[in-house]
């Protein structure tokens, strides 16, 4: 496999943002790597699912969910928090393997985020957010991102098996699906602008 063009230094996408947030799916602006093999996609999904920061992130979101009593049937306190936590871990893991590995391997799509790195703010923001609906195929052509949209939906379908009955309604599933899609869109926007924030605001290398 030929080495990929890594893009300009000030537009580099780091493997971790702020040394913590996983950024394994990002491709630097100007870089043109070959499409990932199924094995490579599997490894990216695994790193995203089991990186230490993933457990911290799930811990924070579970604490917020328990505090807001998002699913009353799961209860409160330490026991309730534990019920939120393991479900949050499952949500993240099955979503990652479906969206990053399984469906892209079936539909021959590249689920990495290709940064634009130049242009006006709104152009770049719209581009990055739209990647949840548009992604390159193995030939580098833009395609409808069925891996993302179907994968997140399938993950919600799987969650029916382990969430309490009152959380299995169509409305509840739609809300969680919308949250997952929105989170991915915002994550892409943050990835897009992180090199600019690091360079021009924090005065550090991305």
- 171-204: per-residue pLDDT in tens? 889 999 999 999 999 999 999 999 999 988 888 8
pLDDT-derived band at 205 (thresholds 50, 70, 90) equals confident
Residue 8: the pLDDT is 56
Mean pLDDT computed over 16-29: 90
CA-CA-CA-CA torsion sign (143, 28, 10, 47): positive
Using DSSP's 3-state secondary structure scheme, residue 200 falls into helix
Residue 107 φ/ψ, nearest 5 degrees: -95, 5
Residue 10: the pLDDT is 62
Checking if the pLDDT of 4 tops 80, the result is: no
What is the reported pTM?
0.88
Residue 44: the pLDDT is 95
Of 79, 85, 91, give the one whose Cα is nearest residue 153.
Answer: 91
Using DSSP's 3-state secondary structure scheme, residue 186 falls into helix
Residue 134 φ/ψ, nearest 5 degrees: -130, 130
pLDDT digits 0-9 by tens, 104-153: 999 999 999 999 999 999 999 999 999 999 999 999 999 999 999 999 99
Q: Do residues 53 and 22 lie in contact, with contact meaning Cβ atoms separated by under 8 Å? A: yes
Q: How many residues does the chain have?
A: 206
Q: Which residues pair with 35 in a beta bridge?
A: none
Say which residues have a Cβ less than 8 Å from residue 99's Cβ, sequence separation at least 6: 45, 111, 147, 148, 151, 152, 155
pLDDT-derived band at 2 (thresholds 50, 70, 90) equals very low
Residue 147: the pLDDT is 98
Mean pLDDT computed over 61-79: 93
Q: Do residues 6 and 33 lie in contact, with contact meaning Cβ atoms separated by under 8 Å? A: no
Residue 9: the pLDDT is 53
Q: Tell me the angle at which helices 146-159 and 77-96 cross, rounded to the nearest 10 degrees.
A: 150
Query: pLDDT averaged over the chain?
Result: 91
Checking if the pLDDT of 25 tops 50, the result is: yes
pLDDT-derived band at 5 (thresholds 50, 70, 90) equals very low
């Amino acid at each position: 496999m030929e080495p990929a063009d890594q893009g300009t230094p000030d537009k580099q996408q780091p493997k971790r943002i702020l040394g913590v947030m996983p950024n394994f799916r990002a491709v630097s602006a100007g870089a043109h790597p070959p499409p990932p093999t199924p094995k490579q996609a599997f490894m990216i999904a695994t790193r995203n699912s089991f990186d230490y920061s993933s457990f911290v992130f799930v811990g924070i979101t579970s604490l917020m969910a328990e505090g807001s009593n998002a699913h009353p049937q799961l209860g409160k306190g330490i026991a309730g928090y534990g019920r939120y936590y393991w479900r949050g871990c499952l949500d993240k893991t099955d979503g990652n393997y479906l969206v990053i590995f399984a469906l892209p391997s079936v539909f021959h799509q590249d689920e990495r985020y290709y940064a634009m790195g130049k242009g006006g703010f709104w152009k770049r923001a719209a581009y990055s957010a739209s990647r949840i609906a548009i992604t390159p195929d193995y030939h580098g052509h833009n395609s409808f991102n069925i891996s993302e949209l179907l994968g997140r939906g399938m993950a919600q379908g799987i969650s029916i098996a382990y969430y309490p009955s009152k959380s299995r309604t169509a409305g509840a599933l739609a809300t969680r699906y919308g949250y997952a899609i929105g989170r991915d869109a915002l994550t892409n926007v943050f990835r897009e602008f992180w090199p600019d924030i690091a360079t021009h605001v924090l005065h550090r290398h991305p």
